[in-house]
Amino acid sequence: MKKILIVDDEEKVRKLVEVTLSIGTFEILHASSGEEGLKIAREAMPDIILLDIMMPGKLDGFDVCGLLKKDPDTRDTYIVMLTAKGQQADKKKGLALGADDYFVKPFSPMELIDKIDKVLA
């Protein structure tokens, strides 16, 4: 079973994404901070990480993305930035740090499902 890690400090967003993905057969993992997301990503080795940028704590989504992409064990993990930060500069920064895709909230559930299906196919 394919694993998807949702890293977002807002429980409502994590639940919304989980419900969106419930039509598939995925193991859904949750993290509410960058630090927790990094730990779970390194332990569980998910196939896809849906990563918010703005989170409390020492690590934001940019930090987590950069650390995962520099780590030989996790650098091939597909990372989708899923964030309210829709400025072009934010998107450029996320992609420069190694994010594989970038979705701005509010996002289209169907577009997200299509992206995940393509990545996991």
Peptide bond between residue 46 and the one before it cis (omega within 30 degrees of 0): no
Residue 86 has pLDDT above 90, yes or no: no
- CATH number, position 46: 3.40.50.2300
- Residue-wise pLDDT for 3-55, tens only, equals 999 999 999 999 989 998 887 789 999 999 999 999 999 999 999 999 999 99
Q: At what angle do helices 11-21 and 109-120 cross, to 10 degrees?
A: 60
Tokens at 59, concatenated: 């690590």
Residues 6+ apart with CB under 8 A from 54: 9, 60, 61, 83, 84, 85
pTM score, two decimals? 0.94
Residue 79 forms beta bridges with which residues? 49
- Average pLDDT of the chain, as a whole number: 93
Domain extent, residue 93, equals 2-120
Tokens at 111, concatenated: 């577009």
Structural domain count, the chain: 1
Percent of the chain with pLDDT over 90: 75
